Structures are given as structure tokens and as C-alpha cells.
Amino acid sequence: MEKPVVGLAPMDGVTDAVFRYMVCRMSRPSFVMTEFVNVEGLARGAVKKMPAFIFDEVERPIVAQVFGVEVDSFYKAAVLVCALGFDGIDINMGCPAKKVEKKGSGAGLIQTPELARDIIWAVKRGVADFVSGVSLEEAGVHHEIIEWCGGVGEWRGVKKLRGVEERRELPVSVKTRIGYDKPVTEEWIGQILEAGPDVVSLHGRTLRQMYSGKADWDEIGKGAELCRKAGVMIIGNGDVSSMEDAERKIEEYGVDGVMVGRAVLGNPWFFGGEEPVMGELGKTARLKAALAHCENFEKILGKHMAFHNMKKHLGWYVKGFDGARDLRAELMQTENLEDVEKLIGNMLE
């Protein structure tokens, strides 16, 4: 049987360059996605968003995820994402966070299907214009963002802006939910499909459900049927707990693949099909991964972000063995790589 398509779902504050690097080194997801980046922020020149777009070759295929409401800003973001060398661009139409949704972006777009379609068309236009040779300046990308890109070649995985010969057409995807306050899967997916995305990713919850209850895979199955008829790839999402579960859901609900979020927290081995390494046997592997995560953080994001931003990962790695609870508490007091080395290093000798 062909290897099933099982990707890493985007998670804000989690799937940054370091975590994705760890996951791709430890096991092989079919694809990964960045955290979501606000297109209006990019259009205003907010360079502080750019570290979310740092990536390493080992992560390919890698999809950049963006969110917002301004059609023109989506166009500019699409050209930028192409120029940065990503393998795909995803439009977030699923985020239920109040601050996102009340502006009409994320899952808020489920209530404005015409705007949602305009956004998809704008992104497709950006991709097509990039292929035809438009420059970042011509596309109206903010000059501070362009300057930032010029400097990013320093870190090993970060692309210099791609040359004209590398201009290729990226697939445009939409990641969304099954409805706003009740499931309206067929109506909503039908509306999205009119704009011709290449891929639809569907999380089987409504916006109102946030992350509670169970993902409704029957609704995902309905979306899958519509996508199949339209010749559009569909990725199901929600509560996938293991590679076996992924294969079973792909088979049962007629999706082309799945993406997995929370089950990968503290478990970069997920896509290798291994059970999470638990107990004393797994202790060394977990501690090594925690330390490697810190080392990679210093190398990759250390100059862009404070150390405390990644400490939650340490908490997720350090579990399932005797003494894990106390060690976790101590790790939460650390302030840098040296502190972590002092705590974990001698346990690994």
C-alpha cells in the first residue's frame, strides 16, 4: 500500500521553525505548515511576523499559512510566500479565536462566503503573477519586509529570494471548519470550491465548538465527497491519535489524507508510527529530544524570540517516567540553554 498522506497541522505558538525541524528530523510527515501569519500585518511592514516564515530544507514540502480579511493584503502575501520558496500557501478559514474571528477572519469567513472566494482568487492571482515574473516591489510588498528577506539568507535553512528561473506555481489551499455555529459542510465547502482551491483541509468541528467535543468525521466525509467530485484534494483533520488511526480514517471517510495537531505535541516521533516513547525506556529519548529542541531553538530562533516562548515544549517532552513531574517544574524555572544543560545534561551521561 502507498504511504498514507499524514501531515503536521499548523498550531500557533507551537509549530514554529524549531518544532517543525525536530518533527522532520525524528519522523517524516507528508507535509508541514507554518503557524498562521496575519496578512494585514505583513502589508503594514510588521517584520516581527517574519520569523514564522523561517524554514529548513528538511521540512519540505512546507506550506505557509496566512490569515486576514483584506483581499489586497492576501495578494501581496501570496507573492511574498512564493518568493520565499514555500511549496504551498494555505488560507486560514478555521481559527475560532475571538480576536481573529470578530474581525471576520479565520472561521469568521464562513459567514461571508463571497469575501472568502475573493480571498482565494486574490491568492491565486498572486501565485499566477509571481510565475509571470512580478517582483515584490511591483506586487506592493512592504519595503521593510523586502529588506528583511534580503537578510535572511544567513541562517542555513532560510531562502534568499528565489530567482526568476525558480518561479513555479504553488498549490493554494484552504483550511477550515464544518460550520460557524452549526454544521453547514456541504453548503460551505460548495461555496469555497467555486473559487477553485487546489486543496481543502477540513477540521470536523464548528467555530462554536472551538476544540471541545469530538470532531465529526461524518461531516468531513460529506466534504470529501464534494471535493472528490470537483477533483480537489481533501485533507481531514480532528482528533487523529496515531498513524493507524490516520490510515483508518483515510480509508473510512474517503479523504486523500489527514493532518495531525495535538497528538504531535511532545511527540516528534509521531509520523514514524512509533507509540509515544513512555516509561523509563523512553526517558533518555525524551530528555535528548528536549535538549536538542533547546539547542535548535538557540540556533534557529534564539535571536528572534525569548527563550520562555519554547518552554512549553519542555513540559510536553518530559513526561511518563519517574521524577518527570519534579523535573518539569525545575525546567519551567530555566532561562536559557545553559540552565537546561545543567539540569538534563548530567542525567544523560
Q: What is the rounded CA–CA span in Å between residue 199 and residue 175?
A: 9
Q: Give yes or no for residue 11 binding ligand FMN (CB under 6 A).
A: yes
Single-letter amino acid code for the residue at 12: D
Q: Does 49 bind ligand FMN (CB under 6 A)?
A: no
Examine residue 262 and tell whether it contacts ligand FMN (CB under 6 A): yes
* Residue 260 is a binding residue for ligand FMN (CB under 6 A): yes
Total chain residues near ligand FMN (CB under 6 A): 22
Fill in the DSSP letter of residue 22. H
Sequence letter at residue 80: L
**35 in contact with ligand FMN (CB under 6 A):** yes
By the rule CB under 6 A, 261 interacts with ligand FMN: yes
To the nearest whole angstrom, how small is the minimum distance from the Cβ of residue 158 to ligand FMN? 20
Among 240, 255, 340, 343, interactor with ligand FMN by CB under 6 A: 240
Residues 6+ away with beta carbon under 8 Å from 65: 10, 33, 34, 35, 36, 37, 89, 90, 91, 92, 175
Look-up of cell digits 454544521: 183
Q: CA angle, corner 79, sides to 172 and 190, nearest 5? A: 25
Positions 73 through 92 that interact with ligand FMN (CB under 6 A) = 92
Based on the shown chain and the rule CB under 6 A, indicate whether residue 14 belongs to the binding site for ligand FMN.
yes
Assess 94 for contact with ligand FMN (CB under 6 A): yes
| Closer residue to ligand FMN in complex, CB, 12/341 | 12
Q: Is residue 173 involved in binding ligand FMN (CB under 6 A)? A: no
Edge-to-edge strands of the sheet including 199-206?
Answer: 5-8, 257-260, 233-237, 199-206, 172-179, 88-93, 62-67, 32-38
| CB contact burial 264-279 (16+ within 10 A = b; e otherwise) | bbbbbbbbeeeeebee
Nearer to ligand FMN, 170 or 240 (CB): 240
CA-based nearest residue to 23, from 65, 58, 66: 58
Note the residue count of the chain: 349
Q: Does 65 bind ligand FMN (CB under 6 A)?
A: yes
d(CA 68, CA 92): 8
Query: What is the distance between the alpha carbons of residues 349 and 338, in angstroms, rounded to a whole number?
Result: 16
| Least distance (Å) between residue 215 CB and ligand FMN | 6
Using CB under 6 A, which of 20, 49, 175, 311 touches ligand FMN? Answer: 175
* Closer of 220 and 344 to ligand FMN (Cβ): 220
Q: What is the CA radius of gyration of the chain?
A: 20
The yes or no reply on residue 10 touching ligand FMN (CB under 6 A) is: yes
Taking the complex as a whole, the smallest distance from the CB of residue 45 to ligand FMN amounts, in Å, to 21
Which residue in 7, 126, 197, 238 binds ligand FMN (CB under 6 A)? Answer: 238
- Binding to ligand FMN by residue 105, rule CB under 6 A? no
How near is the Cβ of 313 to ligand FMN at its closest, in Å?
12
Enumerate binding residues for ligand FMN (CB under 6 A): 9-14, 35-36, 65, 92, 94-95, 175, 203, 237-240, 260-263
